[in-house]
Amino acid sequence: MTDDRMALVELIEQGADSDLVGEMLAFAAERMMDLEIEAKTGVPCGSRSPERLNHRNGYRERGWDTRAGRIDLAIPKLRKGSYFPSLLEPRRTAEKALAAVAARQTG
């Protein structure tokens, strides 16, 4: 698994076929968001079920900056509550860490 990851990172850094890598990342991100939303709503997209916990309510656009370039994501919205893809959370944590380091250096 680690060798595969390193090969992918090398491919991205070389810039070879970055469109293909970007498309693969976009597909994987979309599929991951679909699975997470299925878990929150209780049913797959387009299905009807009395066990439904929530409903989808459109999408919001958000850019995701990766080594393969910017990927435009359509993040599903819910009627009740909120949803933020788990694949984007580490970036938020990294931004908090960067802000903490910057605050220490200025203070």
Average pLDDT, the chain: 81
pLDDT in tens, 29-81: 999 999 999 998 888 888 888 888 888 889 999 988 887 788 899 999 999 98
What does the pLDDT read at residue 60?
A: 93
What does the pLDDT read at residue 73?
A: 93
What does the pLDDT read at residue 78?
A: 92
What does the pLDDT read at residue 36?
A: 93
Task: Provide φ and ψ at 58, rounded to 5°.
Answer: 85, -165
Residues 6+ apart with CB under 8 A from 67: 9, 12, 13
Residue 64's domain spans which residues? 2-106
